[in-house]
Structure 1
Amino acid sequence: MVTRTLHRRGKPVTNPPEFVRHFLYLGGSGVTEKTNTSTSTNTKEQLVRKIGQLRRKLEKLAPSGTDRPLVEGLYRSLEHTSRAGIYVVQEGKFRFVNQYAADYWGYPREDLLGTASMSLVHPEDRERVRQAAIQMLRGNRTSSYEFRTITKSGDIRWITEVITSIRYKGRRAVLGNSMDITEQIEARDKLAELEALEASILEAIPHAVIGLKNRRIIFANDGVERVFGWRAEELIGATTRVLYRSDGDWDSIAQVLYSTLETQRTHSTEFPCRRKDGRYIECLITASRIGESLKEKNIVITFEDITDRKLAEEAYRTMADSSQAGVYVVQDGVFQFVNENAAGYAGYSQKELTGMNSMQLVHPEDRFKVRENSHQMLHGDRRSPHEFRIITKDGRIRWIMETVTFIPYRGRRAVLGNSMDITEQSAARDKLAKLEALEASILEAIPHAVIGLQDRRVIFANDGVQAVFGWRARDIVGMSSRILYRTDTDYEAIADILYNTLEKKRTVSVEFPCRKKDGTDIVCLVSASRTGESLQEKRIVITYEDITERMRANDELERSRQQMRNLSAHLQSVREKERTRIARELHDELGQLLTALNTDLVLLNRKVPEEQHEIRERIDGMSGLVDMTMKTLKRIYMDLRPGMLDHLGLPVAIEWQASEFTKRTGIHCRVTVEPEDMQLNPDLSTAVFRIFQETLTNVWRHAEAKRVQVSLKLTGGEVRLTVKDNGKGITEEQMAKPDSFGLLGMRERVSYWGGDVNITGKKGKGTTVKVRIPYENRGDTA
């Protein structure tokens, strides 16, 4: 029930007229409202009856001038509170539209007022709407009518509507009540489509399909006659017991299906069944529950006769189990059956291979070749077996020789494969070819000098020895490798390095001085590898790469880098000196001038008579501006160069900077210094202080931290600065950005002093910056 209290000119109307109560029932509301949570939506018939009652009441009751404001107030109430579209049409145009109707048409209410109501109706539906409206207004129709309407955005919505004749502002009008039923219309159409689809699916499926409710058949398709010999109409209403061999089978399959479908949507299993003529068959039974639960035990079952397929499978299995070769059946590219031998050399169990894509076992490089050879063999264009590699479960590579042919399997075409593991034969065959090709391939592919040694004499060489050493390959074969080194000492030294290392390791690389045929000394990257598992015959292969120019380039690059570091350090030093000079001049010159000006203003204020209030106020204002300027000046020269860094030392400057950082950002900063009387070289102090400033800047800009811990220590011959925050943590990508100039500057400063900086971050845990600089380096102690 709904209880409303109406208000008119601030006074409650406790007993409104009856036509007012009908209006409220149709969707109006007052200032206060209480609704029962069990109230249901009015049906279309109720809306029609209520509108009719309302019309009759309105005709009987002639509202007085006193009641007219109340009626108009009810219309205004309907604008926002009705759960249906309500509108008044007079002379074919909207005179009143509530907010709900305006919303589903997509127009502002004021845009609809005065608009022709038929302009919103779809052109194809307008005549039908006119006829239905006329019938309803004449009392020849009581049910609502449906039509399409066009919204402001051009979308089409479905509307159901009832109308009645009323008087509005003294003239006859039509009161319309409508609801948006687009979703219901779409659902109705979808249901019709689904019903048609269900019928077509049942007709198309070649297997038996039945629907069950409490284990009784409620529908069946024509496939039941092909599978079981029963006509569909004979089974309707019967239990499924007629489809099974015995009561035991019937109860067993029910237990399997219903217990499984309690927890999952579908289930498939193979099970023995019986035809109408008594013959036993094997069926693939696939069941699916109807709805989200099995409350009424409604399920759909498909029976596929797989008797012939099972017989063929048994024949294949018997043949495969007795074969000494690998036998398998592939259908749609997937293993359907694999015998024990085939599974064994692939390293899988038969169960693991069944259902696996057959090409998954083939080495990626051989897959195209396997497809081509199999296609040729299946179409009679190839008779000899083909060979390819497979990858076993444990990652080993094995060679397979295979023949394939088409067979029927489970009612469809499949491929029967017979194969043998020829890994050992293939390995033996290829080994010789590989060994023969090894020397040529290595010598041709490597651009550097390559020689083979046995007892330190050259047994082969490539053409690269001429490019590196100036010797032709054929000239040095049989010679000692002594000719490639500067002295006997070098010759013995490289021998000790190579042979001693190769006793323990397979390969070794070392940079070593060598000599060309023309006597030019060069530096080579000497890479040696032993031939075989041991150095019993001292057989090794050595590659010589001339890295002389590379080393010169590296040395030049390192010199350039050092020059850049020195230049950077010099520029930093010059900048610090200039900052110091500017800060000193700001403090000494401009600071003194401002102090003098402030003093003069104080003295001037004292000489101005007290009754000159305006002048004294102006002087006070000027004094305040001077004081503010002095504070700004102090901040500027302290940012340029904190005087305490020069006069009180690094620890005090660090603590001051931390305090200023907390005041400026609100981020708590705790500083620990050991020892407190630490004194360093002024330039080193400046470097550490600037690194600390850059770290705090990064915390403020990027970390989103609430707390920072700072530690400055002089221990173990090092200055150690550690800054740790509890922010979001820096990432590897952020540290690797080429435009991270702050981090780059920190590293350059630390590198100049021979130290290192380590930055680590953990997501959600914060960032830690650790700086270590040797404090005895570059004469940095005080």
Structure 2
Amino acid sequence: MISPLPDWREFDMARLLLLLEHKENARLLYEWLSEKYEVIFPGEPQRLGDSFDLGILDGPALDRLAGMVAARKKGEEPLFLPFLLVTSRQNVGFVTRHLWRTIDEIILTPIEKVELLARVEILLRARRHSVEAENRYFALANSSPVGVAIFQDEQIVFANEIFRQLHHEVLGAGKAEKVSKLLLAAYPPGGKTSEMGYRMELETKTGTRWLQCSDREITYRGRPATLRVVMDITQDILYEHELKQLSQRILDAQEQERRHIALELHDQIGQMLTAIKIGLQAVARTAESLPQTTAQQLEASIQTTEKALQQVRSLSLNLRPSMLDDLGLLPTLRWYIDQQARQSSLPIRLQTNLSDSRLSSTIETVCFRVIQEAITNALRHAQATQIMVSLYQEKDWLIVTIADNGTGFDVKAASQQATEGHSMGLVGMRERVVMAGGSFQIESSPQQGTTIHARFPLDIALPTYSMKETKS
């Protein structure tokens, strides 16, 4: 059962428990206190374990009930449950042993009525203030926009309205007992909790729901308990999924546009430049009848056309190598790495344990783009003298690593610049990998080189053989 909040309307008639073995003092206190308060004797059905606001004892009763009094006070924490001791001046040693442990105030015999009423009222005010403080906490919890609950002994001892409503909607449970069982079953694996938070994915009749939870171990009513804060993030997850789909569509459209432009460059402009070159070469074959200056200009035009043709071919291949679609990732990487090594005069090595079997189109494209971006960055900015690319399968994962011995950089600072829009290379690589279902990590520091790791889950196992290396 979910415990209700304390109701302090009863403070108009606070409840006092008399535990005095001295009968005359008990009679006297009952007479004086019953005018203003509800006074309970232990001989009635109410006993030490029942509800009261102030306990009044004498020495013999405290000596006999000290353990029960201490347990009852601890069980009320963080609420303050006061106990008043009626004693004589001769029992100073006894009072010293118990003051602030099991009792909170003393009154000496013979008892003065005015002093008694004053001390009782002071203790009841302290009691009232502690309850009001807890009520303010619970009121704050009830006004919170997130679900808040306290678990203790496999039961929910407090749940705010948002928590009740959230779990009624998510779990379809209307009764507190049913909610409790379902919530306890939804604890993290092994019953472990973390203040850092975790997500729970629940299958309900209305579909999948996601909850963001955070648990903290606390002490409640003097005993260990768990405070749980819960948010329904289902809509956020759906928006995130839609955003990923949109980003993927944008990347797909970008690749399609790259493919289209590459084909246009190769098939249209490339062919036109080839035609121009052939025409110029045909004219050059009659150069004997042309003035020398004209012949030299013609030869220069042929060379310029050849350079333009090579540049168009290079642009077409860099935009979207046709062999990536026709032959797959490994042949394309071998060609690309060989091309970059020749142009930069740097050793670039490729290690792999994969055969030439095809991967999914998405993974092939993402792997090529990540490796392309990493090599470009290493050549342009890192002043690297060697680059290593490794591509291998480990069980059901494809592991891609690109390492260079260049100048390196501060990863945290670079990531901050990327979020501010100053450098999109790192962001682009990470987004591509994540959207393909993989993970992305950069290791780098100034003057220590850079290593980029990307991991992709594989739906099916790929044929592998011993690690082989290609040097360019």
Give the aligned partner of residue 647 of structure 1. Answer: 326
Q: Is the 8 A contact 2:443 2:450 kept in 1?
A: yes
Q: Is the 8 A contact 2:398 2:457 kept in 1?
A: yes
Give the aligned partner of residue 175 of structure 2. Answer: 486
The 1-side partners of 2:365 and 2:162 are apart by: 54
Give the aligned partner of residue 679 of structure 1. Answer: 358
- 1:113-512 aligned at under 5 Å gives the runs 428=100, 440-446=132-138, 447-448=140-141, 465=160, 486=175, 488-492=177-181
Q: Secondary structure at the match of 1:759?
A: strand
The counterpart of 2:310, out of the listed 625, 631, 653, is 631
The counterpart of 2:424, out of the listed 741, 756, 764, is 741
Q: How far off its partner does 1:567 sit?
A: 1.5
Give the aligned partner of residue 67 of structure 1. Answer: none
The 1-side partners of 2:414 and 2:156 are apart by: 53
The 2-side partners of 1:746 and 1:562 are apart by: 19
Q: Is the 8 A contact 2:387 2:403 kept in 1?
A: yes
Give the aligned partner of residue 582 of structure 1. Answer: 261
Q: Is the 8 A contact 2:433 2:454 kept in 1?
A: yes
Q: Residues 605 and 489 from structure 1, CA distance in 2 versus in 1: closer, same or farther, beyond 3 angstroms?
A: same
Q: Residues 578 and 442 from structure 1, CA distance in 2 versus in 1: closer, same or farther, beyond 3 angstroms?
A: same
Identity within the alignment, %:
23
The 2-side partners of 1:600 and 1:441 are apart by: 94
Kindly indicate whether residue 272 of structure 2 is the aligned counterpart of residue 593 of structure 1. yes
Q: Which has the higher helix share?
A: 2
Q: Residues 492 and 652 from structure 1, CA distance in 2 versus in 1: closer, same or farther, beyond 3 angstroms?
A: closer
Give the aligned partner of residue 396 of structure 2. Answer: 717
What is the identity, as a one-letter code, of the residue corresponding to 1:746?
M
What is the identity, as a one-letter code, of the residue corresponding to 2:284?
N
Q: How far off its partner does 1:669 sit?
A: 1.6
Deviations 1:110-161 (A, max 9, x none): xxxxxxxxxxxxxxxxxxxxxxxxxxxxxxxxxxxxxxxxxxxxxxxxxxxx
The 1-side partners of 2:330 and 2:366 are apart by: 13
Give the aligned partner of residue 622 of structure 1. Answer: 301
The 1-side partners of 2:394 and 2:253 are apart by: 30
Greater CA drift, 486-495 or 653-662: 486-495
Give the aligned partner of residue 466 of structure 2. Answer: none
The counterpart of 1:572, out of the listed 229, 251, 256, is 251
Q: Secondary structure at the match of 1:609?
A: helix
The 2-side partners of 1:506 and 1:653 are apart by: 46
What is the identity, as a one-letter code, of the residue corresponding to 1:684?
I
Give the aligned partner of residue 656 of structure 1. Answer: 335
The 2-side partners of 1:735 and 1:631 are apart by: 36
The 1-side partners of 2:273 and 2:349 are apart by: 35
Count, aligned residues: 319
Deviations 1:445-464 (A, max 9, x none): 352258989988999x7xx8
What is the identity, as a one-letter code, of the residue corresponding to 1:768?
T
Structure 1 gap ranges (5+): 1-423, 471-483, 514-522, 534-538
Q: Secondary structure at the match of 1:714?
A: strand
Structure having the higher Rg: 1
Larger relative CO (CA 8 A, sep 6+): 1 or 2? 2
Kindly indicate whether residue 372 of structure 2 is the aligned counterpart of residue 726 of structure 1. no
Kindly indicate whether residue 456 of structure 2 is the aligned counterpart of residue 751 of structure 1. no
The counterpart of 1:690, out of the listed 362, 369, 372, is 369
Q: Residues 665 and 487 from structure 1, CA distance in 2 versus in 1: closer, same or farther, beyond 3 angstroms?
A: same
Q: How far off its partner does 1:666 sit?
A: 4.5
What is the identity, as a one-letter code, of the residue corresponding to 1:653?
T
Q: How far off its partner does 1:736 sit?
A: 3.8
- 1:86-125 aligned at under 5 Å gives the runs none
What is the identity, as a one-letter code, of the residue corresponding to 1:626?
T
Q: Residues 489 and 512 from structure 1, CA distance in 2 versus in 1: closer, same or farther, beyond 3 angstroms?
A: farther
Q: Is the 8 A contact 1:730 1:760 kept in 2?
A: no
Q: Is the 8 A contact 2:217 2:227 kept in 1?
A: yes
Deviations 1:468-513 (A, max 9, x none): 669xxxxxxxxxxxxx963644444557889xx99x9999999999
Deviations 1:738-758 (A, max 9, x none): 134222211211112211111
Give the aligned partner of residue 453 of structure 2. Answer: 770
Structure 2 gap ranges (5+): 1-95, 106-122, 143-147, 166-172, 202-210, 464-472
The 2-side partners of 1:725 and 1:676 are apart by: 25
Q: Residues 707 and 724 from structure 1, CA distance in 2 versus in 1: closer, same or farther, beyond 3 angstroms?
A: same
Give the aligned partner of residue 401 of structure 1. Answer: none
The 2-side partners of 1:744 and 1:587 are apart by: 30
Q: Is the 8 A contact 1:448 1:468 kept in 2?
A: no
Aligned Cα root-mean-square deviation (Å): 4.6
Q: Secondary structure at the match of 1:703?
A: coil
Q: Is the 8 A contact 1:565 1:752 kept in 2?
A: yes
Q: Secondary structure at the match of 1:722?
A: strand
The 2-side partners of 1:573 and 1:467 are apart by: 42
The 1-side partners of 2:200 and 2:457 are apart by: 33
The 1-side partners of 2:301 and 2:398 are apart by: 48
What is the identity, as a one-letter code, of the residue corresponding to 1:649?
G
The 2-side partners of 1:682 and 1:505 are apart by: 40
Q: How far off its partner does 1:709 sit?
A: 0.8
Q: Residues 495 and 530 from structure 1, CA distance in 2 versus in 1: closer, same or farther, beyond 3 angstroms?
A: farther
Kindly indicate whether residue 387 of structure 2 is the aligned counterpart of residue 708 of structure 1. yes
Q: Is the 8 A contact 1:448 1:544 kept in 2?
A: no
For normalisation by structure 2, the TM-score amounts to: 0.55
Q: Residues 543 and 682 from structure 1, CA distance in 2 versus in 1: closer, same or farther, beyond 3 angstroms?
A: closer
The 2-side partners of 1:765 and 1:736 are apart by: 20
Q: Residues 495 and 623 from structure 1, CA distance in 2 versus in 1: closer, same or farther, beyond 3 angstroms?
A: closer
Q: How far off its partner does 1:432 sit?
A: 5.9
Q: How far off its partner does 1:762 sit?
A: 3.8
Q: Residues 432 and 587 from structure 1, CA distance in 2 versus in 1: closer, same or farther, beyond 3 angstroms?
A: farther
The 2-side partners of 1:655 and 1:487 are apart by: 64
Give the aligned partner of residue 409 of structure 1. Answer: none
The 2-side partners of 1:639 and 1:576 are apart by: 12
What is the identity, as a one-letter code, of the residue corresponding to 1:448?
A
